[in-house]
Amino acid sequence: MTMKLVVIGNGMVGHKLLEELSALRPLGLDITVLCEEGRPAYDRVHLSEFFSGKSEYDLSLVTPGFFDQPGMHLRLATRAVRIDRAIKRVTTADGEIIPYDKLVLAMGSTPFVPSIPGNDRPGCLVYRTLDDLGALAGWGARSTHGVVVGGGLLGLECAKALRDLGLETHVVEFAPRLMAVQVDDIGGQILRRTIEALGLTVHTGKNTVEIVDGETARHRMKFADGGYLETDLIVFSAGIRPRDELARQSELGVGERGGIMVDNFCRTRDRDVYAIGECALWGGKLFGLVAPGYEMARVVASHLHALLTRKQSSGLPEFAGADMSTKLKLMGVDVASIGDAHGATPGSRSYQFSDGRRQVYKKLVVSEDGKRLLGGVLVGDAAEYGTLLQMMINGLELPEAPESLILPASGGGAAPGLAIDALPATAQICSCNNVTKGQLCEAVIAGATSIGALQAATRAGTTCGGCVPLVTQIMKAQMKRQGLVVNHSLCEHFAYSRQELYHLVRVERIRRFDDLLARHGTGLGCDICKPTVASILASCWNEFVLQQEHVSLQDSNDYFLANIQKDGTYSVVPRMPGGEVTPDGLIVVGQIAKKYGLYTKLTGGQRVDMFGARLEQLPLIWEELIAAGFESGHAYGKSLRTVKSCVGSTWCRYGVQDSVGTAIDLEHRYKGLRSPHKLKFGVSGCARECAEAQGKDVGVIATEKGWNLYVCGNGGMKPRHAELLAGDLDTATLIRYIDRFLMFYIRTADRLQRTSAWRDNLEGGMDYLRDVIVNDRLGIVAELEAEMRHVVDTYECEWKRAVSDPAVRRRFHHFVNSDAGDERVVFVPERGQIRPAAPTERRRRHERIPVVVETE
């Protein structure tokens, strides 16, 4: 039997249903998906990131080939206009008729636009789809002022987008505070102050009565209190309304304030029609968050699967409502709302903590007897969110003094964390992907003993990432229970982690690998510990890496100060700080490449890479580069690579700061710094972010007032946006914070751990990092700055030193007993340059030699 399933809507929830069905691989299911938009499902939760650099492709939720599966038919730009339940048919706007056996409605919501006269003027927009964003970008380019009507969760997201577009941004809210649903008055005030400090203007308690032509801008918004505001564009983000018109037309049962009524299996009053996501009304409630929508999708998928496989429906998962707690980051500000945030439960008591300096506010709502957590609000610092949420959901008993849960730790004692063991196995840890504590523990038992492996096995923490700290704790607790030691040993020669070795080197002032090995290790060392210790020694004492005592520790790249390639030749990268290079400099690079027959290519870090240099050519090439004023680019080292920059205020019409100058200063400051892994920087001269600084370990973006500092981003295999560490810094403070950040990373990271992975493993995450770097929570920033000063003050160009040291130069020969080169290195021409010969091409060449001899 074939079941014809029609799904109307391919939003996040509709697509989740398809994914769940696809994973169950039921036989005989034929799915037609009607998608109103011209593109399939994308991530609406992270929509505003479209303006901070994410592409349509980044946001897509469709894995390649998904809709090519047999039995899956996607109709894009196809709107359903009518449902005939009696004959089980859907009619599209083009008049096409599609029959169904089962129908799922996943049409989502539309933005609510208040009925204000003038709300349809050109430049009055909404914010829900990628097309809306396209319109917003178009209008944004022709505007200097923007207003968002609505100071809720979506409104503030949208305000961020306007700010990212470079507009002077205002938020107009009808209620007396921002995020009225999620936070209370004090929380709203703190949120407002923080957002205003970022350069936005907030108007609360404003009722817009009319929009008319403006005098200084396109529109004038008139308020009920007689005031007005002029702006070039207006975005309405004042809530959403369920898309239930098809249900109304087909008499499916709709709630008083909208929403298609469904039961626990998400079925409407018609047993063959389901509704899920924001358009569904369950228990009199609408769910405007993605997690409950996903849960509904899972319920419907297993229900359909059971029907297909003729299983009893008893015991199937049912939708049981959802916890509407939320945690989000708005313009770098953490905001979280848990359960009964307003203390609406009769008899409930509350505890509050606020810190005016750090702009942090925390509130707990507890039951009358003080034993159970009912809810809470966190603004400015939501580190406790995961713990509090689990305490509330699982009804765990609160500690004697519940306030200790939100008070800052004093006297070095840590705040009481969540007793992981107290959580039941059924506790849902990842709500996005519905992963329980029990499932996590099972995965650990099955061998997933790293956070990456655990994520791959369970998908926990892979959507919003909010539960990762908790997932990590559960993993560690389970490993401990199994007697598995969380083994931090670097390798068989040292029973210490990189961080511990770093401390040993610092504290005992050890300067030689042999000393460290004799005191704290065994054996001869290996290709893991030698380069690691070499890097630590260089970070601490900054001695020449090729001096006699250190040279045998260096990986081939550091040993020859160049990047080894697949054929044993090397590539050469001279430093071009900030990507700036003179015409004469470029000519010299070109002449050298030509003279030595090197292949040239521009790197992603804005400089020139020359490939195909033989060992014996390296010192000769560098002598010429040094004579032309170039220095080592450290492309071979686990060290600062480049500081990429855009052209900045010097030339660019939009630039607000001198990004090139700052990039050059930063590159000169940190060049040669050895670190646990490579480091990449970027500096952008305005919010347009042309230097892609948010994809770097250290990203600096100009603001009107100074610089925003982002950290812990990277490109590569697992791209990751950097996060805001501090905003509107002057240049001196910027450099101090980067000094501290880099040295703290060098102190505490694992071997070959990029800053993003390091940040994921820092308990307390970005809030903790900010506390250490900005607020000096550990009391170490003076030390960190002094350590960096030593490295900066003792910089020397390694290549300059190498070419002038006869003992070092002697090593740059392929043979110890001959001046010949390596004859196995063979190049063939391609597109006017050389490339390494493939093994077959090389063998052909070798075979040809005797033939030539014979003919002679």
Partner 1 sequence: MNDHATIIEWTSICDIDDIVPDTGVCALLDDEQVAVFRIGAGDFYAIDNVDPVSEAAVLSRGLVGSLTERIVVASPIHKQHFDLRTGECLEAPEYSVRTWQVRRQGSTLQIRRGDA
Is 651 a binder of partner 1 (CB under 8 A)? no
Tokens, residue 154? 């979506």
Residue placing its CB nearer to partner 1 in the complex, 690 or 826: 826
For residue 350, give the H/E element and its range: strand 349-355
> Residue 814 Cβ, how far from partner 1 at the closest point, in Å?
6
Enumerate residues 482-521 that contact partner 1 by CB under 8 A: 492-493
Phi, psi of 525 (to 5 degrees): 90, 175
Residue placing its CB nearer to partner 1 in the complex, 248 or 810: 810
Tokens, residue 114? 């208040």
> Residue 513 Cβ, how far from partner 1 at the closest point, in Å?
9
Residue placing its CB nearer to partner 1 in the complex, 513 or 744: 513
Q: Are strands 833-836 and 827-830 parallel, antiparallel or unpaired?
A: antiparallel
Residue placing its CB nearer to partner 1 in the complex, 498 or 530: 530
Distance spanning both ends of the chain, measured CA to CA: 79
- The binding track of 525-544 with respect to partner 1, each residue x by CB under 8 A or -, is xxx-xxx-------------
CA pair distance 459, 430, nearest whole angstrom: 9
CA pair distance 70, 12, nearest whole angstrom: 21
Residue placing its CB nearer to partner 1 in the complex, 351 or 611: 611
Which of these segments, 156-164, 472-480, 545-553, 583-591, binds partner 1 (CB under 8 A)?
A: 545-553
Length of the chain equals 856
Asked if 32 and 102 touch (Cβ cutoff 8 Å), the reply is no
Q: Which of 39, 241, 503, 811 binds partner 1 (CB under 8 A)?
A: 811
> Residue 527 Cβ, how far from partner 1 at the closest point, in Å?
4
Closest CA to 801 of 546, 496, 598, 624: 546
Residue placing its CB nearer to partner 1 in the complex, 519 or 790: 519
Residue placing its CB nearer to partner 1 in the complex, 595 or 824: 824
Q: Which residues pair with 411 in a beta bridge?
A: none
> Residue 559 Cβ, how far from partner 1 at the closest point, in Å?
7
> For the chain, give me the number of helices (H) and strands (E)?
26, 39
Contacts 24+ apart (CB under 8 A), 131-138: 131/37, 131/38, 133/47, 133/50, 133/51, 133/161, 136/161, 136/162, 136/165, 136/233, 136/235, 137/51, 137/165
> Residue 804 Cβ, how far from partner 1 at the closest point, in Å?
18
> Residue 795 Cβ, how far from partner 1 at the closest point, in Å?
25
Q: Which of 320, 820, 830, 848 binds partner 1 (CB under 8 A)?
A: 820
- The binding track of 548-577 with respect to partner 1, each residue x by CB under 8 A or -, is x--xxxxxxx-xx---x-xxx---------
Q: Which of 507, 816, 851, 853 binds partner 1 (CB under 8 A)?
A: 816
> Residue 842 Cβ, how far from partner 1 at the closest point, in Å?
8
Residue placing its CB nearer to partner 1 in the complex, 121 or 511: 511
For 179, half-sphere exposure in the C-beta direction (CA atoms, 13 angstrom radius) is 31
> Residue 611 Cβ, how far from partner 1 at the closest point, in Å?
14
> Residue 600 Cβ, how far from partner 1 at the closest point, in Å?
21
> How many residues contact partner 1, by CB under 8 A?
38
What angle do helix axes 498-507 and 529-541 make, rounded to 10 degrees? 40
Residue placing its CB nearer to partner 1 in the complex, 369 or 823: 823
With helix as H, strand as E and coil as C, how does 378-431 read?
Answer: EECCCCCHHHHHHHHHCCCCCCCCHHHHCCCCCCCCCCCCCCHHHCCCCCEEEC
Torsional sign, CA 172, 174, 175, 179: negative
Q: Which of 215, 817, 831, 851 binds partner 1 (CB under 8 A)?
A: 817
Residue placing its CB nearer to partner 1 in the complex, 323 or 822: 822
Which of these segments, 378-386, 463-471, 706-714, 813-821, binds partner 1 (CB under 8 A)?
A: 813-821
Residue placing its CB nearer to partner 1 in the complex, 280 or 545: 545
Tokens, residue 698? 């250290």
Which of these segments, 416-424, 547-555, 684-692, 751-759, binds partner 1 (CB under 8 A)?
A: 547-555
**Residue 216: CB partners within 8 Å, gap ≥ 6?**
230
Residue placing its CB nearer to partner 1 in the complex, 462 or 556: 556
> Residue 523 Cβ, how far from partner 1 at the closest point, in Å?
4
Closest CA to 355 of 379, 374, 377: 379
Tokens, residue 850? 């005797």
Binding site for partner 1 (CB under 8 A): 492-493, 523-527, 529-531, 548, 551-557, 559-560, 564, 566-568, 810-811, 814-818, 820, 822-825, 839, 842
